[in-house]
């Protein structure tokens, strides 16, 4: 009876685990689509060939896909270099052009011609020219018996040589990344544009409607898009900003399909997913869901509450902290969803069963046993040590470095060290000038009193949760002098420090050659140094060493999985390289008795309107269009104006802004979020719960044309009605 129970539990869990590896799961490498996915995709509705999606012989969809500023995705939608991404992806740029007098966050921005477009220092748009499997070349000279240090050294040498060789004499870049935990390597040849201008952004009441309350949730009603344009030099090649630059002529731009989607339509998402960890062991999942995620949530909860209160009481602080707040709030919420999702999936149990299967397969074969038989004993041992250090590291990153002035003081370390070691001010004037420029940037978005409150709170959390022996010496002083009254400590420190005042900093920098001792004794510099040196001595080296050892175990485990468990189609974890995922338009059952439909409408947005909450304000202009039902050609057949839809594509952070394409490769929407019940898909995917959230391209066009009166932009696009 007992045995039968165990077997059937094993079967059900394991079976569902395998099922979950089929439908819609996977972030696939474009150059392997032909081999791995084409027939499955066609079965599911794709009308294109793999070559239409990725090819090195002809122009293809790939040529319209851009990595936007290193973190998001964007797509080319006109032959004049116009690119579409999310509002939240362009948020920092929109914020940077904003002031209390000219608040583009609140009001939106629309260039009415190319001259009015706004340049953005440092923003990049990267295309992939081609990709290549370079595993054999990278692993040349590497053997199984080599030490890890030598292995890494050899691999890095090979990478450096190959990356350089690949692009000599061109204006291209190249990077090589490990896949499957270093069992494979791929090289990417890139072309990166550096003059990327802001063309249009809706007001936050549209682009960020529902803000953090709706973030990571379905149903959602954000018009989460912004428009930029890539500029090139006269040869259509990348160049730094210049008024002489001209709109980039792309190899390919996406056709925009205005027909809308229906349930079960085939969709695919082409973009740059950042990071997933689908092949972790049960030990790692345990650490993440039971220790690391909860700790980070707790710390951010405290920070966000302080920021939120201050932002609500001052417009200046609201603008200063909007981008910082949004970025902290985003993962704060995601981790909570992830914990819930992993629990609901019984992720640890599923992983354990999978591991038992792996171990028993390994044990039944002499060769496999020699390679993998002891693997899990090692994992267990390492994770015991690792989780302790991981906690120290999380707390250092989230709470100590969460104090803005501390992070800022850290940027002075090199200059202070140089002066301490006898360098003259004129020897390092360049670095000092850089600090002056950085001071402007830092203080533009800095509010002392917010940071001071954060400092008191964060230090208190740190001192309560971290064992005494691992605390920096500064905590002993705080106990002695301030009786652990962290508020008193922060008040004292912030009233004296130069690091909280732009004037004091600029003054000190002007003759830092004489002032450096004073800076060294500055209470915030001291706080930073005390915490940092403890971290650098007692946490980081040990953490890094274990990290390397675990990386080695993961490499071996990954190899073993692919050898021993062959019922499964493996895809590499996301690593900010170009991937394609595909799925279907569909709603889902988030919990017992509840079903969510696959699309949302402007009527639904109006239902959420709440003039008392700054997250749910509807602008008079949008309301007017709604009341008149003035939706132009952007309404659905039944007269509704759809805003968003959801589908079962496997996406993650970095996929924001990615084009969502129909079976013919036409643009039907822009990816911008994932559902709450599916946020655990970075660690374990569940086809019943995971949905990507997509802005319907018709709402984008509606906002550009009807709301903003920037319909001239549509003339650049190729529209299918």
Judge residue 143's burial from the number of C-beta atoms within 10 Å of its C-beta, 0-12 exposed, 13-18 middle, 19 or more buried: exposed
Q: Closest approach of Cβ 672 to ligand GLU, in Å?
A: 6
Shorter beta-carbon distance to ligand ARG: residue 215 or 554: 215
How wide is the angle at C-alpha 542 spanned by C-alphas 391 and 275, nearest 5°?
A: 60
The SS3 of residue 217 is: coil
Per partner kind, with CB cut-offs from 5 to 8 A, the member of ligand ARG, ligand GLU, none near residue 221 is: none
**For residues 3-13, b (16+ Cβ closer than 10 Å) or e, as one string?**
eeeeeeeeeeb
Per the CB < 8 A criterion, the answer to whether 663 and 257 are in contact is no
Could you say whether residue 210 binds ligand GLU (CB under 6 A)? no
CA distance 279 to 293: 18
If binding is defined by CB under 6 A, does position 655 make contact with ligand GLU?
yes
16 is catalytic: no
- Considering the complex, state which of residue 286 and residue 338 has its C-beta at the smaller distance from ligand GLU: 338
681 binds ligand ARG (CB under 6 A): no
Annotated catalytic residue within 78, 98, 226, 656? 656
Of the residues 24, 103, 224, 522, only one is catalytic, namely 224
38-77: contacts with ligand GLU (CB under 6 A): 72
Round to whole Å and give the CA distance between 463 and 163: 46
By CB under 6 A, tell whether 679 contacts ligand ARG.
no
User: Which of residues 463 and 658 has its CB atom nearest to ligand ARG in the complex?
Assistant: 658
**Number of residues engaging ligand GLU in binding (CB under 6 A):** 10
Site string for ligand ARG, 325-354 (x = CB under 6 A): -x--xx------------------------
603 catalytic? Reply is no
d(CA 310, CA 317): 7
- Classify strands 195-201 and 667-674 as parallel, antiparallel or unpaired: unpaired
Distance between CA atoms of residues 580 and 582, nearest Å: 7
Distance (Å, rounded) from C-alpha 304 to C-alpha 463?
A: 19
Give just the sign of the alpha carbon dihedral 618, 99, 318, 435. Answer: positive
Residue 97 annotated to the active site: no
> Which of the choices ligand GLU, ligand ARG, none does residue 212 contact, using the CB cut-off of 5 to 8 A by kind?
ligand ARG
Binding partner selected for residue 329 from ligand GLU, ligand ARG, none, CB under the kind-specific 5 to 8 Å limit: ligand ARG
- 308 counts as binding ligand ARG under rule CB under 6 A: no
The string of DSSP letters for 304-372 reads HHHHHHHHHH-HHHHHHHHHHHHHHHHHHHHHHHHHHHHHHTTHHHHHHHHHHHHHHHHHTSHHHHHHH
Pair of tokens at residue 56: 């090195």
Burial per residue of 208-244, b for 16 or more beta-carbon CB atoms within 10 angstroms, e otherwise:
bbbbbebbbbbbbbbbbbbbbbbbbbeeeebbebeee
The verdict on 185 binding ligand ARG (CB under 6 A) reads: no
The site for ligand ARG, by CB under 6 A, has a size of: 11
652 binds ligand GLU (CB under 6 A): yes
Ramachandran class of 393: left when φ > 0, alpha when ψ lies in -120 to 50, beta otherwise: alpha
Residue 619 sits in the site that holds ligand GLU (CB under 6 A): no
Closest approach, Cβ 328 to ligand ARG, in A, equals: 8
212 binds ligand ARG (CB under 6 A): yes
CB of 172 to ligand GLU, least distance (A): 26
Which position among 88, 221, 253, 650 bears the catalytic label? 88
Nearest residue (CB) to ligand ARG, 302 versus 448:
302
Q: Is 46 in the site for ligand ARG (CB under 6 A)?
A: no
Positions marked catalytic: 88, 224, 656
Residues near ligand GLU (CB under 6 A) are: 72, 651-656, 672-674
Write out the residues near ligand ARG by the rule CB under 6 A: 88, 211-212, 215-216, 326, 329-330, 653, 656, 673
């Amino acid at each position: 009876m007992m045995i039968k129970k165990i077997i059937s539990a094993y079967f059900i869990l394991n079976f569902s685990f395998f099922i979950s590896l089929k439908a819609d799961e996977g972030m696939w490498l474009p150059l392997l689509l032909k081999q791995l996915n084409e027939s499955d995709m066609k079965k599911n509705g794709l009308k294109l060939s793999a070559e239409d999606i990725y090819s090195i012989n002809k122009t293809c969809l790939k040529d319209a896909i851009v990595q936007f500023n290193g973190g998001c995705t964007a797509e080319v939608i006109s032959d004049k270099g116009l690119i579409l991404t999310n509002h939240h992806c362009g948020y920092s740029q929109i914020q940077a052009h904003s002031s209390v007098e000219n608040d583009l966050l609140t009001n939106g921005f629309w260039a009415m011609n190319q001259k009015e477009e706004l340049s953005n220092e440092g923003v990049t748009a990267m295309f992939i020219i081609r990709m290549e499997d370079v595993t054999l070349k990278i692993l040349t000279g590497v053997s199984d018996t080599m030490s890890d240090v030598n292995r890494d050294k050899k691999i890095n040498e090979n990478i450096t040589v190959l990356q350089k060789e690949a692009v000599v004499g061109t204006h291209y870049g190249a990077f090589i990344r490990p896949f499957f935990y270093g069992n494979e390597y791929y090289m990417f040849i890139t072309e990166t544009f550096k003059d990327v201008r802001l063309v249009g952004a809706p007001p936050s009441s549209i682009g960020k409607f529902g803000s953090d309350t709706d973030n990571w949730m379905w149903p959602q009603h954000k018009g989460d898009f912004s428009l930029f344009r890539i500029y090139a030099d006269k040869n259509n090649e990348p160049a730094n900003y210049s008024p002489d630059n001209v709109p980039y002529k792309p190899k390919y731009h996406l056709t925009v399909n205005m027909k809308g989607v229906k349930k079960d339509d085939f969709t695919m998402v082409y973009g740059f997913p950042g990071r997933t960890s689908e092949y972790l062991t049960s030990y790692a999942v345990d650490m993440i869901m039971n220790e690391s995620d909860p700790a980070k949530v707790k710390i951010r909860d405290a920070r966000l509450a302080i920021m939120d209160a201050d932002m609500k009481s001052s417009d200046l602080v609201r603008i200063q902290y909007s981008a910082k707040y949004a970025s902290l709030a985003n993962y704060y919420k995601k981790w909570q969803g992830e914990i819930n999702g992993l629990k609901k999936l019984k992720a640890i149990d599923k992983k354990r069963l999978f591991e038992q299967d792996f171990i028993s397969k390994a044990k039944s074969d002499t060769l496999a046993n020699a390679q993998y038989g002891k693997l899990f004993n090692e994992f267990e041992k390492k994770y015991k040590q690792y989780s302790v250090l991981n906690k120290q590291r999380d707390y250092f990153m989230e709470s100590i470095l969460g104090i803005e002035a501390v992070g800022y003081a850290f940027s002075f370390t090199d200059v202070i060290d140089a002066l301490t070691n006898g360098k003259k001010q004129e020897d390092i004037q360049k670095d000092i000038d850089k600090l002056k420029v950085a001071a402007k940037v830092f203080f533009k978005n800095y509010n002392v009193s917010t940071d001071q409150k954060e400092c008191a709170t964060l230090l208190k959390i740190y001192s309560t949760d971290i064992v005494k022996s691992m605390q920096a010496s500064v905590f002993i002083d705080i106990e002695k002098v301030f009786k652990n009254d962290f508020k008193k400590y922060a008040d004292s420190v912030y009233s004296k420090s130069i690091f909280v005042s732009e004037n004091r900093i600029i003054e000190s920098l002007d003759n830092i050659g004489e002032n450096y001792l004073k800076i060294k004794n500055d209470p915030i510099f001291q706080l930073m140094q005390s915490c940092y040196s403890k971290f650098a001595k007692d946490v980081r080296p040990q953490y890094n060493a274990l990290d390397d050892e675990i990386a080695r175990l993961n490499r071996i485990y990954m190899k073993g999985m692919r050898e021993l468990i062959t019922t499964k189609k493996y895809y590499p974890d996301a690593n900010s390289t170009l991937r394609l995922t595909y799925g279907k338009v569909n709603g889902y059952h988030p919990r017992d008795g509840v079903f969510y439909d696959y699309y949302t409408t402007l009527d639904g947005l109006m239902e959420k309107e709440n003039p008392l909450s700054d997250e749910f304000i509807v602008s008079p202009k949008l309301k007017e269009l709604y009341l008149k039902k003035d939706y132009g050609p952007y309404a659905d057949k039944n007269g509704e104006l759809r805003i968003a839809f959801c589908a079962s594509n496997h996406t993650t952070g970095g996929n924001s802004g990615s084009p969502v394409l129909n079976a013919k490769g036409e643009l039907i929407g822009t990816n911008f979020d994932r559902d709450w019940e599916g946020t655990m898909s970075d660690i374990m995917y569940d086809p019943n719960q995971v949905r990507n959230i997509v802005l319907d391209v018709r709402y984008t066009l509606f906002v550009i044309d009807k709301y903003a009166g920037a319909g001239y932009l549509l003339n650049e696009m190729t529209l299918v009605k």
